[in-house]
Amino acid sequence: MSIMATRVKSFPAAPGLPLGPRPLYAQTRDAFVKRLVEGIWAPGEALPSETELAAELHVSQGTVRKALDSMAAEKLVVRRQGRGTFVAVHDEARILFQFFKLAPDGIGEVAFPESRVVEVISGRATQAERERLEIAATSRVIRIRRLRELAGKPVIVERITLPARLFPRLELGEVPNNLYGLYATRYGIAIARAQERLKAVGLDAEAAALLGVKRGSPALRIDRLALSLAGEKVEWRVSLCVTDEFHYLSELD
């Protein structure tokens, strides 16, 4: 994972964390995540030392370390031996590890797919879009339709829906392959986690044509709802994947 900056920001001493039923390290983690949400700590930036952070929040260094370890496990920060802790960036390596789960059958290496945008439009949200993204009845959305390739072969057709208020004018510019990186760098929205629903389906005529297979061919439908660091639902993505040479890989700890 690339490190984009090494500048360290310090802050005035905090009055300490409120007492409550949650473990102190969890409250400390929440305080750090709040800084990520508010953009105080930017992607790729070095965090203050554990000693400095402990002094700011009036907690022990061990509590800070446990909070940062929790964030590292969530891929929110990256620990670099001898260099410190850095805010994670949405580069291809992180997305491939955390969010892209389609792997080739056999012993081939997992690769980040290439994308070709088919269509980008904006319009009034449908009922389904309003329900999935939990947005108001009058909301507008941006819809991205794209084809994704692995090893030069079309394997995924995606429909992506975004609340237009969070991504103003996105549809007017170029849509890059790394969308999560775009969300973070241009709009300050970092994808922290996602909820997925998987189902076997038959391809409709349009998707089959894009993928170069017969209508009704079997596919894996991945319905993903992506959430920001603040817990807001910011992207609804439906991917139709042909799996004759690929499989969905999930590693459980």
Is 164 a member of any domain?
yes
CATH number for position 39: 1.10.10.10
Looking at the 3D structure of the chain, how many domains does it have?
A: 2
Is 17 a member of any domain?
no
pLDDT given at position 252: 61
Clarify whether residues 103 and 190 are in a common domain: yes
Query: What is the secondary structure of 105-164 as a DSSP string?
Result: STTPPP-PPEEEEEEEEEEEPPHHHHHHHT--TT-EEEEEEEEEEETTEEEEEEEEEEET
Residue 168 pLDDT level (bands cut at 50, 70, 90): very high
CATH number for position 109: 3.40.1410.10
Highest average pLDDT, of 84-98, 120-134, 181-195, comes from 120-134
Clarify whether residues 79 and 160 are in a common domain: no
pLDDT given at position 90: 63
The mean pLDDT of 215-226, rounded to a whole number, is 95
Clarify whether residues 51 and 128 are in a common domain: no
Q: Is the overall model pTM greater than 0.95, yes or no?
A: no
Q: Per-residue pLDDT for 52 more than 70?
A: yes
pLDDT given at position 135: 97
pLDDT given at position 68: 92
